[in-house]
């Protein structure tokens, strides 16, 4: 991609958005204060108590790691919006933006994979056992990290080159217009909408299955409300934090919508404070599968290792 145009703000332009800058500093500061310790503790608990013994635990460990990295990118945003200065240079700005964007995208993917994993465990508990293994989950997560990072590298390179041309470093308020970027942006938006649809379909399927499942069914689900809440929380995270941002991307006009888009990006960052709800409801949910013999019995739970009944 070749850079076509860029927007470098000057000191005079800061006055027009002073209120938004103050709100951004406050919101990012609150997300940092809540999200950093919350995700650090969640990651520690997941690693210490559950490790990599189940596919669900593997997925949630990766989601917690992604959210933690996102939170670690926020101190520089708080400093920038609080002081309206950026003395750290183009490389530090690019790294902070790159870390934020890549982990926002990975959070969307991991949340969706968690929903799919739960759906398979509930609807196809026996047939999905060969697919739902810790090893396969680790490979999927590794693939997500690698592909997402690689796809974001060209964007980061173009951003760094454009930032170096600015006399006044506006960092997170900087906007670069890249030839062909509209197609890439639309691709990202469509991908996020597809992930949202997967979460919606998974939620509806689970509700239908739980309502139709007879009491004496071979697969018994304890605490149905907690099971449904996993899917509902995942779906609401997308609708509240990612859907507004995605819809704005689809109708984005660089001349008029820059401030609105940045405000919605700020809103999307709040997601990392609510993802621990997914861990909580998941750890309280169980899928108990009864086989014909003791060796075929499997007790699935993210709050403890698998046990034979």
| Per-residue pLDDT tens listing for the chain (309 residues) | 344 444 555 544 555 557 788 888 999 999 999 999 999 988 888 888 877 888 888 998 999 999 999 999 999 999 998 888 888 888 888 899 889 889 888 988 999 998 898 888 888 888 888 888 889 999 999 999 999 999 888 888 888 887 777 766 678 876 544 444 566 677 788 888 899 899 899 888 888 888 776 555 444 555 566 677 778 888 888 888 888 888 877 776 555 456 777 888 888 889 888 887 777 666 544 333 333 322 233 333 333 333 333
Q: What is the separation of C-alpha 230 from the centre of its chain, rounded to a whole number of angstroms?
A: 15
Compute the half-sphere exposure of residue 263: CA atoms within 13 Å on the CB side of its CA: 12
CATH topology of domain 3-217+225-275: Rhopdopsin 7-helix transmembrane proteins (1.20.1070)
pLDDT score of 145: 94
**CA separation for the pair 131, 111 (Å, rounded):** 18
Strand partners, 177: 5
Q: For residue 70, which of 41, 43, 103 has the smallest C-alpha distance?
A: 103
Kindly give the pairing relationship between strand 175-178 and strand 3-7. antiparallel
Residue-wise pLDDT tens digits, 66-117:
999 999 999 999 999 888 888 888 888 889 988 988 988 898 899 999 889 8
Q: How many helices and strands, by DSSP H and E, does the chain display?
A: 11, 5
What are the start-end ranges of the H helices in the chain?
18-45, 55-72, 74-83, 89-123, 134-164, 181-212, 224-237, 243-250, 258-269, 271-274, 276-283
Report the pLDDT value the prediction gives residue 2, as an integer from 0 to 100: 40
pLDDT score for 177: 47
Q: Is residue 195 a contact partner of residue 267, using CB atoms and an 8 Å limit?
A: no
Q: What angle do CA 215, 308, 45 make, to 5 degrees?
A: 95
- As a whole number of angstroms, the distance between CA 194 and CA 240 comes to 16
Domain definitions of the chain by residue range: 3-217+225-275
The residue count of the chain comes to: 309
Determine contact, residues 113/57, Cβ cutoff 8 Å: no
pTM above 0.85, yes or no: no
In sequence order, what DSSP letters do the residues of 235-254 get, joined into one string? HHHIIIIIHHHHHHHHT--T
How far is residue 269's CA from residue 103's CA, in Å, rounded to a whole number? Answer: 10
pLDDT of residue 132: 85
Q: Which of 235, 216, 174, 172 is nearest to 27 (CA)?
A: 172
């Amino acid at each position: 991609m070749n850079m076509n145009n860029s927007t470098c703000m000057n000191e005079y332009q800061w006055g027009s958005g002073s209120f938004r800058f103050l709100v951004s500093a406050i919101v990012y500061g609150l997300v940092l204060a809540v999200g950093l310790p919350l995700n650090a503790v969640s990651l520690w608990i997941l690693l210490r108590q559950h490790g990599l013994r189940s596919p669900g635990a593997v997925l949630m460990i990766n989601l917690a790691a992604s959210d933690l990295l996102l939170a670690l990118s926020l101190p520089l945003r708080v400093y920038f919006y609080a002081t309206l200065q950026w003395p750290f240079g183009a490389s530090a700005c690019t790294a902070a933006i790159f870390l934020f964007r890549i982990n926002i995208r990975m959070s969307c993917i991991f949340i969706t994979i968690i929903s799919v994993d739960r759906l398979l465990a509930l609807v196809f508990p026996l047939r999905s056992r060969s697919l739902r293994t810790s090893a396969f989950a680790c490979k999927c997560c590794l693939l997500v990290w690698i592909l997402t990072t690689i796809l974001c590298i060209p964007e980061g390179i173009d951003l760094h080159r454009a930032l170096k041309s600015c006399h006044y470093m506006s960092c997170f308020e900087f906007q670069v217009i890249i030839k062909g970027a509209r197609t890439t942006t639309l691709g990202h938006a469509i991908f996020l909408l597809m992930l949202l649809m997967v979460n919606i379909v998974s939620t509806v399927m689970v509700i239908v299955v739980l309502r139709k499942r007879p009491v004496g069914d071979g697969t018994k689900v304890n605490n149905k409300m907690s099971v449904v809440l996993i899917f509902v929380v995942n779906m609401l995270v997308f609708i509240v934090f990612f859907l507004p941002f995605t819809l704005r991307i689809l109708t984005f006009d660089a001349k008029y919508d820059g401030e609105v888009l940045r405000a919605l990006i700020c809103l999307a960052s709040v997601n990392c404070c609510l993802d621990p709800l997914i861990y909580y409801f998941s750890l309280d949910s169980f899928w108990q599968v009864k086989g014909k013999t003791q060796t075929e019995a499997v007790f699935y739970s993210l709050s403890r290792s698998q046990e034979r009944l």
